[in-house]
Amino acid sequence: MKVTIIGVGLIGGSMALKLKEKGLADYVYGVDFSENHLQQAKTLGIIDEISTLENAVESSDLVILAIPVDATRKLLPNVLDLVTEKQTVMDVGSTKSGIVNAVKNHPNRKRFVAFHPMWGTENSGPEAAKKDSFSERAGVICDKENSAEEALKLVEKVAENLEMNLLYMDAESHDIHTAYISHISHITSYALANTVLEKEREEDTIFQLASSGFSSTVRLAKSHPEMWVPIFKQNKENVLDVLNEHITQLRKFKSALEKDNYEYLEELIRNANKIRGILR
Amino acid sequence: MKVTIIGVGLIGGSMALKLKEKGLADYVYGVDFSENHLQQAKTLGIIDEISTLENAVESSDLVILAIPVDATRKLLPNVLDLVTEKQTVMDVGSTKSGIVNAVKNHPNRKRFVAFHPMWGTENSGPEAAKKDSFSERAGVICDKENSAEEALKLVEKVAENLEMNLLYMDAESHDIHTAYISHISHITSYALANTVLEKEREEDTIFQLASSGFSSTVRLAKSHPEMWVPIFKQNKENVLDVLNEHITQLRKFKSALEKDNYEYLEELIRNANKIRGILR
């Protein structure tokens, strides 16, 4: 199968590597704004050929958009304009409603499958790509009833080859859940980094003292705005809803401390501990 | 050297295992309220003998208090009552001012070295102990001028055998820095867990969707209140100071989103990204 990867970065690159290893992709076209990323992707064996969008799409069985969600929203209708009944288009975006709405009336809507692999790191670019990144992670297909059956089957096959656990939900539910499970984590991590940078003027001390706990909560704060501003923008209402709840929860800790109410503090912590039963 | 470990849990247990492996400790007495933990620690080879406090302290060259900071504060004066000029006492608590103040006028104050190994996990108990836990982590000695020279030397030797990077600071600075670097991370993680548990009623969905990012920011929320309530209590003023700043920082994200000010949102994220240069 011939595959086009639009956006040869962390996600697109990792997918290409795995699909090639599994033999599902035998030729990969790379399309990207960054000449530098394209050259790196070629050198790293992620792609076989640097191509224009039109040539790549025309020659491929599967087109994967792996670019920021605002860019996907703009580019997806153009890609669907170029495909025939024999081709399939998928994305990998962290928000889904905006993207499916952008093509809901497109005549080729059925060739598109909305997909979200629940994996990422704070790094980006083709050099960060790793073929086994998606293994055992959740892969969400949204609004599957709006995709053609064989397009859906192909994307399911892609997810299986990536060794992901498949889930199905509608785009709106997806965006609500990811606001809780993923987007708010990034905001708290950014805000935590800004808190420490604001209060702790001794950078050497941060570096020397930083415990594994701090590193893990602040790791996501390294993630780039090019990816995350569009996600927050497209999922604004859900993110604000969860962010308000999060500030309310933090205020409870503040109030417990201010009032020396350590029984309440313990109650808050015991409630949080329930996450132990839910998360591995 | 004979060593007493008071509190044979994650930290005390991990230290005992490493000091035995290195040959610095050739006999370890275990003291704990939990008969169950003592038996586990014996079975796991963490301790050689289950003992009473008095017998263990009397027979040891080094006594390590590895219990919650409120318990350390209460028990430390009693332990110092029992030691001679030839013995050394150290603690491992995450707050320091309360502990050093509790013994500042004790006649045996110089036998005590205030120590904080900057490592922990969300797990607890002897079965969570691992001998290589402390390697390459920061180990902080506080108020070293208040300890006898040979007591200080022994604790430095312990830290070297644990393969930690030693730092020195006064207890008050320590408590300010750890509020930023460690304590606030736990509060944000607890609050994040409570946010998700409040908003996301579908536990299965959390479990299925939880990405690595979510897991790493919420991991600390599994930490037990027995350890953390006393830390927050003893470091109340510093923690409140950082918590207020953190809520202010979160409100900036909220405001940027509410006002659709995506340039400001990008600026906030770019600022947070600076943590990349400071943390590995």
Q: How far apart are CA A183 and CA A171, in angstroms?
A: 15
Q: In the predicted model, what is the mean pLDDT of residues A13-25?
A: 97
More confident residue, B199 or B91: B91
| B266 interaction partners in chain A (CB closer than 8 Å) | 225, 229
- State how far residue A135 is from chain B, nearest Cα, in angstroms: 12
Rounded Cα gap, residues A66 and A75, in angstroms? 11
* pLDDT tens digits along B228-262: 999 999 999 999 999 999 999 999 999 999 999 99
pLDDT-derived band at A173 (thresholds 50, 70, 90) equals very high
A52 — pLDDT class (breaks 50, 70, 90)? very high
Residue B211 has pLDDT above 70, yes or no: no
Token pair for A270 = 């015991």
Q: Summarize pLDDT for A86-138 with one digit per residue, the tens.
A: 999 999 999 999 999 999 999 999 999 999 999 888 888 999 999 988 998 99
| A258/B221 Cβ within 8 A | no
Helix/strand/coil for B243 = helix
- Residue B275: list chain A partners with CB under 8 A: 193, 196-197, 218, 221-222
Q: Which of A194, A246, A254 sits opposite B272 (nearest CB)?
A: A194
> Is A249's CB within 8 Å of B195's CB?
yes
Domain positions in chain B: 2-169, 174-278
Interchain proximity A118–B274, CB inside 8 Å: no
Asked if residue B41 has pLDDT above 70, the reply is yes
User: Between A and B, how many CB-CB pairs are < 8 A?
Assistant: 312
Residue B270 to residue A215, Cβ atoms within 8 A: no
Residues of chain B neighbouring A199 (CB-CB closer than 8 A): 180, 241-242, 245
Residue environment code for B50-60, b if the CB has 16+ CB neighbours within 10 A, otherwise e: bbebeebbeeb
Q: Each residue of A204-220: pLDDT tens digit?
A: 777 777 766 788 888 89
Res A34: pLDDT: 95
Closest-CA residue of chain B to A208: B138
Q: Strand, coil or helix: what is A91?
A: strand
Residue in A with minimal Cα distance to B209: A138
For tokens 């059925």, the residue is A110
Question: Which CATH number does the domain B2-169 belong to among 3.40.50.300, 3.40.50.720, 3.40.190.10, 1.10.3720.10?
Answer: 3.40.50.720
What CA–CA distance (Å, rounded) separates B120 from A218? 16
What is the rounded radius of gyration, in angstroms, for the C-alpha atoms of chain A?
Answer: 21
To which CATH superfamily is domain A174-278 assigned? Answer: 6-phosphogluconate dehydrogenase C-terminal like domain (1.10.3660.10)
According to the model, what pLDDT value does residue B186 have?
Answer: 93
At residue B206, does pLDDT exceed 80?
no
Distance from CA of A48 to the nearest CA of B (A): 30
User: At B165, which helix (H) or strand (E)?
Assistant: strand B165-169
What percentage of chain B exceeds 70 in pLDDT? 98
Decide if A185 and B262 are in contact by the 8 Å CB cutoff.
no
Half-sphere CA count of B278, side-chain side, radius 13 A: 27
The ipTM value here is: 0.90
> What sections of chain B are H helices per DSSP?
10-21, 35-43, 53-59, 69-82, 97-102, 149-161, 171-178, 184-199, 203-209, 212-218, 225-234, 236-258, 262-273, 275-278
* CB contact (8 A) between residue B278 and residue A203: yes
Alpha carbon of B253: minimum distance to chain A alpha carbons (Å) = 7
Q: Give chain A's largest Cα–Cα span.
A: 68
CB distance B23 to B49 below 8 Å: no
Contact check, Cβ <8 Å, A240/B220: no
